[in-house]
Structure 1
Amino acid sequence: MAERGFETPPEVLGYFRGRALQPRFSWLDVFGAEHAHAFTVAKVTSLDMLKAFEAAIDRSLKASVGFETFQADILGQLKALGVTGPIKVADPTGRAPMTKVDFTSPRRLKTIFWSNMNAARAAGQWDRIQRSKAVLPYILYVRTTAADPRREHLRWVGTILPADHPFWRTHFPPNGWLCKCSVRQIGRPEKERLVGAPVRGMPGGPTYSDEAPPVVLRPFRNKRTGEVAQVPDGIDPGWHVSHGPARRQTMSQILVDKIDSMAPAAARTAVEQFVGDDAFERLVYEAQRTGAKRGAMKAAGETAATIDAAAPWNRAPLPVAVWPDDLAAFAPAMPRTVTATDAAIAHTPDHHFAPSIWSEVADILATAAAYHDLSDPNRPEKALFVAPDIDAGKRKLVVVEKRGDRLELVTFFRAPLRYVRNQLLKAIQLR
């Protein structure tokens, strides 16, 4: 539930506003990690109605109000759309029969309000944890405030793990519909003081532990898509990808992993659809705003630590291209999905591109002259792609590096011809 009287952190609004509208018939149509990129309300297949719900939740988040205020707001919006009671809704896919739905029902509205408010707040809390994890490096799973707690969730109470531990990718609350579990960020001294002690408020119960609880996965088949997801025991399907980490890293990595597993043609299509989506456009603009803020702070003489705290990069991997088959020798046995982070997207502000231009990256990698760039001895595993188009004596350049087990785009910009020639002096042509 939203808290009254508190200013809503900007990252909470940023998460909610960063999702594209996707009218869908079933909650299963936008499943798991996809929620980090898509705003949907079950059975809302009208774009106008979905926009009304989005606007009402946005206002509730911004003002940090409770359900009653949201309910009055959305009922007014629905009335303006002619919805004052149950209506018949058709499934656009034809997989389900015509269904009567009451969007004015308090129970339905509470579910919509709770799920969106808590997902956004979890994402905001995760962002704050990531910004301050150098000082407070641990996350503590706190006992639920529910009067009738789920036994499965009580098993995780008292768990203390590093903020980057994989456990939080699936167990960062909420962990199910109407789950009231929470976490708290703590420092090393508190962690060392707590480990081994009985959990407060649970006499005769568990002790605080810095060992990850066992995670037992069970298959869940999405009856709408046929996709089978592995869901941890005790977590409701759909909440098995935590909205905190999923804001960027988890969602992005799952998307990248999924594309990695596809055949080349299907992977290229998936990347093309992602880069062409409204959500990617929002991510580009968000990255550029972060880059501009960091640049202004740097010019004002702020320290690197201050800049990172005020305008942090999320560095989530975003798929932007598929590595060409004819250049496989440059990156043998590596995943073929080329990713870029927000830091790369916002690199070199003078060369910012509109989101639509990023669709050219795939074509540049597939057709442009390619070189093994040896100009920087500290970064030898670098490929340079020079687009054939000339614009006022400049050419578009894409630079891709091997970073760990990934191919990562580190910059995409328009460079003067002289700069390009200098770069190629220490390069070996690959194509």
Structure 2
Amino acid sequence: MAVRIDFDADFDEQVAQARAQRVMLPEEFYRLPAEKRALAFTASGLARLDQVQAVADALAKFQADGGTFDDFRKWAAGQDWSLPRHRLETIYRNAVQAAYMAGHWRRFDEVKDDLPYLMYDAINDSRVRPSHLAMDGVIRPVNDPLWKRWTPPCGHRCRCTLRQVSAREAQRRGGVTQSIPAEAVPDEGWGGDPRRWGETLDRVRADKLAKAHPALAAGYERAMRQPQGLFTDYDAYAPLVVPDTSTAARAAAVEWEKRIRHEPIEHGISISASGTLILSKIGQADRVAYSDAEMALMRGSTFTHNHPNGLSFSVADFRMAVQHDFAELRAVTPAFRHIMTRPEHGWPSLIAFEGHRSEAARQAILAVRDLMVSAGMHPRYAEMEATHQFWVFVAKRFGIGYTRERS
């Protein structure tokens, strides 16, 4: 399912700026210095200048109309040339991502007095380039010369971004990065000064995103950072996440989860805030039954258990967390760790949850279909992903902290 973000007005200035870029053949383009490539446009795989010009015009039109990659792909299918889907997607994503990040720079400059630092944020998965991952977490001032060389996209289909942070947040993350790792090198010809990327286009895009509904703007950013090709969380090479052991309860839960994650029947573990065991109980293949007295002991605790079926939380798990005010609900499988944290305002009522349950299920199905089409997810993972996406929707609706970690 393609996601379309439509804005209130045409991107007239965006179209004009996009068409103002100098269009050239690839061999001429790649002879340019890196700082001048941002002012030009090419499309690898095309042999004639008029073909490259047609692609540039089409991209400008689809940006103006709020079009999607599918619109661009359908247009390309009717031309007198042919490029494989992956190359079309590379052309499309490179153009949109570059303009999107350039739009960010206008906001960076506007609020740098309050948020004076930028942090490089790489996507830590099996698709990320090691040279880009080496930059992950690097913090420098907004006006630091580093960003003239290291502003994403820093290569074809780069999904990295820059996050603007406060002085307090920068300090919490270790302060300004003094030395850049030697292996951190942007791809040749990429990572140039963003303030030279189509200033008119940037201003219009930034204004439109600022006025868009927050959910749409957030969805746009997520789309630009989504893994492409056949990679999903189920890929054998998906990176493992180091578990959070920042509290005594979490540290204890992680240790218990190491013991129970491969068990063929469910084990339930209740842990106090100090990390001590309240109750450990073995159940059946798909459940652990508790008496009222046992549930009273577990009230307000961190509760973890294993799911031999490999799925995220069940509705019964969630109801138990709400009814007994768990501080944290956890479920571990052989491949994943699922964590749901009680919101500061408390768990939602079960009546409110039931009111959104059908919509959550519908959104989960749509998300799974999208992953199967856009990311090549195998159908064998559909149920597992649908269960996860159900809780993603519920968590967003009620402000619940929910994560799934490859572990």
TM-score, length of structure 2 as denominator length: 0.42
Q: Which has the higher contact order (CA 8 A, sep 6+)?
A: 2
